[in-house]
Structure formats: C-alpha cells, structure tokens
A and B are shown apart, each in its own frame.
Chain A
Amino acid sequence: MIKGLFVKKKKYATIPTGKVKQDVPEGIMSKCPECKHIMVTKELRKNLLVCQGCQYHYPMSSQERIAALIDEGTFTEYDADMISGNPLEFPDYVEKLEGDRKKTKINEAVVTGAGQIDGRDVTLAVMDSRFRMGSMGSVVGEKITRAIEHAIDQETPFIIFTASGGARMQEGVLSLMQMAKTSVALKRLSDKGLLFISIMTHPTTGGVSASFASVGDYNFAEPKALIGFAGRRIIEQTIRQELPDDFQTAEFLLKHGQLDRVIHRSEMKKTLSTLVKIHTEGRV
C-alpha cells in the first residue's frame, strides 16, 4: 500500500445546495408512480419529493438529501474526487462507473462531509442509489470510514443515510471487507461516546443492511423503504412459500423490533435536530 500518495489529496468542495438537477420528476407536472396522483413538479420538490396523494417517498439524490437536511452554506464535502479502480479487472466495470459519474455528477455511491443541522455540527454520509444501485465497493467503504474518523477527530455526531443494494459484486471480496472496515471504525466512534444515527432509505439491503446501517445508536427508516438481508426472490425460492406484501418494509421491521422509528421525510430534519441537541447539550 502506497499510503503517501494520497495523503495530500484533501480537496474539499462545497455542494451547491438547492439548485441541483436530478432525474426523478422532470417537466412541469409529475405523476406519482404509486397512486398516479399528479402534482406540479415545483410543488413536489417543495414537499421534499413526497407525493401529496399517498405520501410515497420518491428516491432522493444525495445532493437533494443534503440540501433538505443541512443548514444552507455549511456543507463541506470530503473526498469528492475519490474514484474506484477495477481491482478484479471486471469487464465493462470502468465504463459503467464512467456512465454513472456522468449521469449523477458525483464520483461514487456515497457523498460524505461535514455540516450543521440547526447550527450544530454533524458529520454526514449520504448514499446515492442512482450510482451503481448504491452498492458498496472500496471507495464507498473508504469514504464512510474516513468520515467516521473525521467525526471522531471533530467529536461530532455521525449520521448516515443508507440506500444500497449491498456489496458491489465487481469488486468481489474487497467489497465484502468494507463491511468489516466500516465496522472497526464505528466501534472506535462508539467507544469515544459519540453519537451514531442510521437512517435507512429505500432500498437498504445485503451487505449494507448487514453492517453499518443496522448498528446505529438510533436506527430509523423512511416509510415503505425496503430493508433486508436477503432478496425476496431468493427467500421465496429457499422456503418455497409466498411472503407477505409488507415483508422487509420499514413498517415490517418496526413491527419486528428492528427499528426505533419510521420517520416521514417532512419530520426528518426536526427529529434529527432534536436528537443531536439532546446528545450535544446533554453532555457536560
């Protein structure tokens, strides 16, 4: 490992909050994919991409998520220029990464950085399901680990929004090991008495669900988010029976004691802000 080569590389960039184009609803009007309710796109955005008809939560890009949560002008991104290699020399992998970079205007499936929520410092990681289905390879693992280390250095709470299909297959067992890497960092964070909040958004499955997403001091989820370890189809094939409709939804997990709360997007900032306040102002 040639560590020295990237020590100097800390180019922090500020994400322009609020004005980021994204690919979900375009045009003047948008139709809800769930209930077919038609809304003015501008209104939908103002409503944090939640359908006014059925409360369906549209997927949010990392940029939109940060804009909706972090006080304007306070976000500093970490490691924005970190990119994946192709360690297993997988065919088409490099092209796929390049395609997603162009499409999403981000370099990998997680955006990390520091910012403030109602004036209080937090370290944040937001996964983006538009990039390789939010899958975790070396870069995602490394960026999250570094963000946790920043949180430890700066003694801030660490908040992660997960959205991931799981480990990134194209990086094989290196991806699997990112589960261990992020976990050793989280243990260090926890031992320092620092707060870790995990918010699972649609979808959070496989290796991401089976690592950092599930071990927050608080585990939250957005309504109807798909959360689980194994895929529904695999389970149905294994046990040869049909699964209930709500299987592996946020509500299902809440019912089975796996979550602290399901939080509507409109309540997200307020809830997180209050929790951060409880933790930071409570400490002597």
Chain B
Amino acid sequence: MAAELEFERPIHELEKKIAELKSFMDEKDIDLTDEIKRLEEKLSNLENSTYSEMKPWDRVQIARHAERPTTLDYINYLFTDFIELHGDRLFGDDEAIVGGVAFYKELPITIIGHQRGKDTKENLRRNFGMPHPEGYRKALRLMKQAEKFNRPIICFIDTKGAYPGKAAEERGQSEAIARNLVEMAGLTVPVICVVIGEGGSGGALALGVGNYVHMLENSTYSVISPEGAAAILWKDASMAKKAAESMRITAPDLKELGIIDEIIEEVKGGAHKDAKHQAELIDQVLEDSLHSLLSMSQEELINQRYEKYKKIGQFGFVNDSIVVK
C-alpha cells in the first residue's frame, strides 16, 4: 500500500477497520455483512469528500509522493518504440533528465522529461530529479534534433528545481536554463508541456516554454518551494503549509492566473493510485493538443507561443488604478 499521507489518515483508518471486520467475520463465522456494507458506504462518502476538497498542502503531498508516476512511467504507457538518448555532447549525461524518440500512436515524436528516482539508489543516480546544466543542454540538443526532423516535442515537468551546487554554477546553470527558454521560444515544431509532479521554478520552466502547458490536477508549479517561501517570509520553514496556500501553486490556481491551458484530471486520490489509468487521462488531452497544433504552420506555432507568454502578468498604471490581467 502507498505511503500514508496525513490528510488521508481517516480514510486509511476506516479501510483498516473494514479489513479487520472482514477477517473477523471469516475467522469466527459471524455474519457482519450489514455492518461492513454500512462502513463501506461511509468510506466511499469520506473518500469523495476528502478528495473533492483538497487543500493546496494536500496536493503538495500528492505531487511529492514517492510512488507518484514519473516521466519514464508515462513514456511506458503512452508511447511505443521508445529509444532513450543520452548526453549533451559537451560534458556528460545528466540522468535527472531523460529524453528520446518514440511513436505516439503513428506519429514520430520526441519526449523529454525530468526524472526522479523511485528509491534511494536511483535517486542518487538521478540526483533526485534536480538537473545540472548538462541536463538542460541534453534537452536542448534533443529539441533541436526534433526540429530538424519535424517531430513534435512533449516535455514532462517534474522537478524540485535546478540543482544548487558548485559544479552546476561553474558550468553555467543560469545560461543553460536561459538558453532553453530562448530556444524553445523559436522551435518550429509543436511543443506540449505537462507538469506531472512538482514544477520547481526556473529548473522546471527550462522544459516549459510550450504551445500548450497542462498540469495534472495535483501537481504544483511555483517560483519557490513552500518551504523556501516560508523561510523567507516568516523565517520559519515549518510554515510551509501556509505558504503553499498564499503562493497559489496548484493547478486550479495557475489556470485562474491564466498561465496554464488545461487541468488534467487525476484518478481519485492521486495519480499513484493507478498510473495506467492516469496515463489514459493524459492521453486524451495530449491527443487533442497535438491535433490542434499539427495543423499550424511553423510561423503560427512560434507566434502562438509568443502571444501566450506575452499576455502573462498583472499590472496597472499610476493614474488609473485599474489592474489588468
């Protein structure tokens, strides 16, 4: 069973109680069917109310869930003939980002995404999904390759952020991210970005300049982690829960702020409950997005991206107090 999340505890307790009753019924040969049925109904109601009223902090917990499906999980479900490609041709291969070519249905496609590990060993290898410059440069190399061969690009975003380390600075972390932003702006092929877990600041955005940007319902996208925001705002990282609420980092928040295109529905309780079904839910949106972009010319794709980002922001003018969105 998946690791327990705090807000799900009442559900798990009830599940446990039902399981106990069932085994008690089997052992002692007593009929508790009515009682169990009653509790199962209660459970179903509890699940519905819990998962329909999720707070930002609950979503943060789901977005960070150790068993949340990763880029490679979705690649496995959504694409065929995937061939992973490595290296930036300059320094090394950063396993915090994976990329390669595959078919999406009949369509040749390039896929790039942040990649977390599923256990400690893999996390060490993948640096917890926090890329160095060579990761971003590998991503850009694969994007340019996709452009050359006229393949659409799909980016999965799932990172706490670009790695804050000495080597990363020496090799130009800033430049690597900045370069991707500029080059993605000019890609002549369709680019679709899907935030599948955590969208951590510039390190996420470096794979995030697309014609469409979608977010899974329980993913987050933010300029700074809730812990980081809390540390700065209240000098107390334990206020992260409060920061998660005020920073507006959930998919519904970003939709409202006009930053993302669609919220992709998640399976009840979060994507980790059923990765395969989750992939199907992504598939529907992906297909629609690709369909609408494939009919656009190269120039239209670039201009659409321009207009999309150009309109993000809220400001006003001194002499009229109107703040426009």
Query: Which A residues are within 8 Å of any B CB, using their own CB?
Result: 1-3, 5-6, 9, 81-88, 90, 107, 137-139, 141-142, 145, 167, 169, 171-181, 183-188, 190-191, 206-207, 209-215, 227-231, 234-235, 238-239, 241, 243, 247-248, 256-258
Contacts and interface: CB of A to CB of B under 8 A. Distances in A.
Contacts of B92: none
A83 B317 contact: yes
A160 to B, nearest CB: 13
Interface of B: 162-166, 168-175, 177-179, 181-186, 201-202, 205-206, 208-209, 221-224, 229, 232-233, 246-249, 253-254, 257-259, 305-306, 309-320, 322-325
Contact of B201 (A83, A171, A176, A243): A176
Contacts of A86: 323
Given A173-B249, A179-B205, A256-B172, A83 B315 contact: yes
Contacts of B168: 229-230
Secondary structure call for the A interface: helix
A176 B317 contact: no
B75 to A, nearest CB: 25
Nearest to B187: A187
A63 to B, nearest CB: 18
A210 B174 contact: yes
B185 A176 contact: no
A186 B310 CA distance: 12
A107 B316 CA distance: 11
Nearest to B201: A176
Given A142-B315, A172-B248, A243-B166, A210 B324 contact: no
B202 A207 contact: yes
A5 B171 CA distance: 45
B179 A214 contact: yes
A234 B231 CA distance: 12
A229 B169 contact: yes
A173 B223 contact: yes
B186 A6 contact: no
A184 B324 contact: no
B166 A239 contact: yes
A191 B232 CA distance: 39
B314 A87 contact: yes
Contact of B209 (A9, A169, A184): A184
Given A1-B311, A141-B313, A142-B315, A183 B209 contact: yes
Contacts of A81: 317-319
A187 to B, nearest CB: 4
Given A227-B174, A229-B169, A231-B164, 12 more contacts: A6-B322, A82-B318, A173-B259, A176-B202, A181-B312, A206-B202, A214-B179, A229-B164, A230-B168, A235-B165, A238-B163, A258-B172
Contacts of B223: 167, 169, 172-173, 175-176, 207
A184 B173 contact: no
Contacts of B233: 169
Contacts of A215: 175, 178-179, 182
A237 to B, nearest CB: 9
A138 B314 contact: yes
A229 B162 contact: yes
12 contacts: A169-B223, A172-B222, A173-B221, A178-B312, A180-B208, A183-B185, A184-B310, A190-B186, A211-B181, A213-B178, A227-B174, A238-B164
Q: Determine which residue in B185, B257, B305 has the highest number of CB atoms from chain A within 10 A of its CB, and name it.
A: B185
Given A169-B224, A172-B247, A214-B179, A247 B166 contact: yes
A87 B323 CA distance: 9
Given A210-B178, A228-B174, A184 B185 contact: yes
A178 B179 CA distance: 15
Given A176-B202, A183-B209, A207-B223, A169 B232 contact: yes
Contacts of A243: 166
Nearest to A206: B202
Contacts of B318: 81-83, 107
Nearest to B305: A184
B313 A138 contact: yes
B317 A6 contact: yes
B248 A173 contact: yes
Contacts of A88: 246-248
B313 A142 contact: yes
Contact of A5 (B208, B224, B322): B322
B258 to A, nearest CB: 7
Q: Determine which residue in A175, A230, A241 has the highest number of CB atoms from chain B within 10 A of its CB, and name it.
A: A230
B148 to A, nearest CB: 17
A175 B258 CA distance: 13
Nearest to A92: B233
A2 B324 contact: yes
Contacts of A229: 162, 164, 168-169, 173-174, 177, 202
B315 to A, nearest CB: 5
Contact of B186 (A139, A178, A191): A191
